[in-house]
Structure 1
Amino acid sequence: MERVLVVGMTGAGKTTLARTLSGRLGLRHHEMDALYFTGPNWAVNDKLTEDVSRLTAEPRWIIDSLGYPEVRDLLWDRADTVIWLDYSKRVIMPRVLRRSVRRTVTREAVFGGNRETWTGWLSREHPAWWAWSQHGARRREIERRAHDPRFVPLDTLRFSHPDDTTAWLASL
């Protein structure tokens, strides 16, 4: 595991796992949302492809995201390991709801200094709505990529419950 991509649905714990693995394996961690959202009002990085290309040209890294469409193939082409947090909605939804409520109430700054707001909860782009509505589509996308011959011999570790992930981490 030298070039690791941690994938799964919003709220699965991708960033938390990537940070933990970063420390244990000595891999430089890159948070995809922080690379994508670079400024106020959820401004998007217009050099995302260049930035991700440069970061993934390094010999050792870990990135926590399926990847935004413009860099998705690049990430999957350059990774040697995919860790898939394939958790059910029953696991993900309480996590994403707790996180979003905390961020909204505390006005916690996230990517690019942005904040989740109460009015933001009404948007289809809000993490809670996104996690609920995109769960099936994202799962199918990851499944397809995990079996795509273009990405073989990519080592894919698929965990269907947080307990499985915890047990695997303990075995490292």
Structure 2
Amino acid sequence: MRDPFITPSGLDRINVIGTSGSGKSVFARRLAERLAAPLIEMDRLYWHSNWSPSTDNEFFDKLKNQLSGSRWILDGNYTRTVSMKWEQVETVIWLDYTFLRTITRAVKRAMLRSWSKQEIWPGSGNRETFRKSFLSRDSIILWSIKTHSKNQLKYQSAIVDERYSHIRFIRFIHPNQAEAWLQSLDESKLTKSLAP
């Protein structure tokens, strides 16, 4: 894998991946702001109001439309969309944090959202509740627990898969690495702006 501390070349189409609770949405948002690129949230495309899911055809059509632009930051996994989203992607950033760190973050986020009752996406009516987060078979915390090790195996395989040889994979195993990389982008832009 190449050195992740690079200049912004090749960062027009990026997919940020990681187990739920890894912080990929926050990271993707910050990255989009730094690169002044459109942010595409896959969960937002998938879920209708009141947590009603899209059909696959509907979801694929919405995603294909969003990916038609020349620059974007894509936030999300959704394995069944890999052939579509990774056809054009240049860089995949994998937030591969430890099980304990990921689950702890997932629990804290669920508690905060359940307490605040804030809509996940404005106008959607989608809110997390204590019951949904902690007492349901659809719990995002349970989902994080069940998928953490599966995601590690899946993405480790993808990195060496010849089908994805056109993609640069960047793997961060600690939030400090991700933060340093984001800061390196700012420094790179500053260096370019000061160049004669």
Equivalent in the alignment of 1:5: 15
- Percent identical among aligned pairs is 31
Alignment deviations for residues 91-148 of structure 1 (CA, whole Å, 9 cap, x no partner): 1112111110011112121243222222212223211111112100111112222221
Cα shift at 1:163: 0.7
| Structure exhibiting the larger radius of gyration computed from Cα positions | 2
Q: Which residue of 53, 57, 63 maps to 2:74? A: 63
Q: Is contact 1:67-1:75 (8 Å) kept? A: no
Letter in 2 for 1:49: F
Q: Which residue of 117, 131, 138 maps to 2:144? A: 131
Cα shift at 1:45: 2.3
Q: Is 1:45 aligned with 2:64?
A: no
Letter in 2 for 1:128: I
Q: Is contact 2:110-2:130 (8 Å) kept? A: no
Equivalent in the alignment of 1:28: 38
Letter in 1 for 2:60: T
Q: Distance in 2 between matches of 1:146 and 1:98?
A: 30
Letter in 1 for 2:63: V
Structure 2: gaps of 5 or more residues: 1-10, 186-196
Q: Is 1:89 aligned with 2:99?
A: yes
Q: Distance in 2 between matches of 1:56 and 1:154?
A: 16
Q: Is contact 1:6-1:14 (8 Å) kept? A: yes
Q: How many residues align?
A: 170
Q: Is contact 1:7-1:65 (8 Å) kept? A: yes
Cα shift at 1:68: 4.9
Q: Is contact 1:14-1:65 (8 Å) kept? A: yes
Equivalent in the alignment of 2:128: 116
Q: Which residue of 181, 189, 192 maps to 1:168? A: 181
Q: Distance in 2 between matches of 1:16 and 1:119?
A: 24
Q: Distance in 2 between matches of 1:38 and 1:68?
A: 20
Q: Is contact 1:32-1:65 (8 Å) kept? A: yes
Q: Distance in 1 between matches of 2:61 and 2:116?
A: 34
**3-state SS, counterpart of residue 116 of structure 1:** coil
Q: Is 1:146 aligned with 2:159?
A: yes
Equivalent in the alignment of 1:17: 27
Q: Which has the higher strand share?
A: 1
Q: Distance in 2 between matches of 1:43 and 1:68?
A: 19
Write out the 4+ residue segments of structure 1 that deviate beyond 4 Å after TM superposition.
none
What RMSD, in angstroms, separates the aligned Cα atoms of the two structures?
1.3
Q: Distance in 2 between matches of 1:170 and 1:96?
A: 25
Q: Distance in 1 between matches of 2:47 and 2:103?
A: 23
